[in-house]
Amino acid sequence: MESFLGGGGGGGTTTQPATAQQHDCTAQRRPQVKLPQLELPRFDGDVRQWPAFKNIFYASVDSTDLPTVNKLQYLKSAISSLT
């Protein structure tokens, strides 16, 4: 499946899907801590900040199984007005 932002996770590397055995092993070792809710960073059009924004967006939203329309809404909400 192609990334919503195109080109995958950003660094040009391709990640292979985890096998069922890896999921079973990971599920058994989940820590029992409650992490704070992750807030998406804002992107204001500064091209120097794009790689970091793209990587965080991909890891937090685009790599999930959310419907494309929801991913678009998250992206739109994270982009600051350029005017």
- Please report, for the chain, the start and end positions of each structural domain, with discontinuous segments joined by +: 41-83
Cβ–Cβ under 8 Å, residues 61 and 40? yes
Query: What pLDDT tens digit does each residue of the chain (83 aa) get?
Result: 456 666 555 554 445 555 555 555 555 777 688 878 888 889 999 999 999 999 999 998 988 999 999 999 999 999 986 55
Give me the pLDDT at residue 29, please.
72
Q: How many CA atoms lie within 13 A of 41 on its CB side?
A: 15
Q: Is 5 helix (H, G, I), strand (E, B) or coil?
A: coil
Give me the pLDDT at residue 55, please.
94
Q: Is the pTM of this model over 0.75?
A: no
Cβ–Cβ under 8 Å, residues 42 and 79? yes
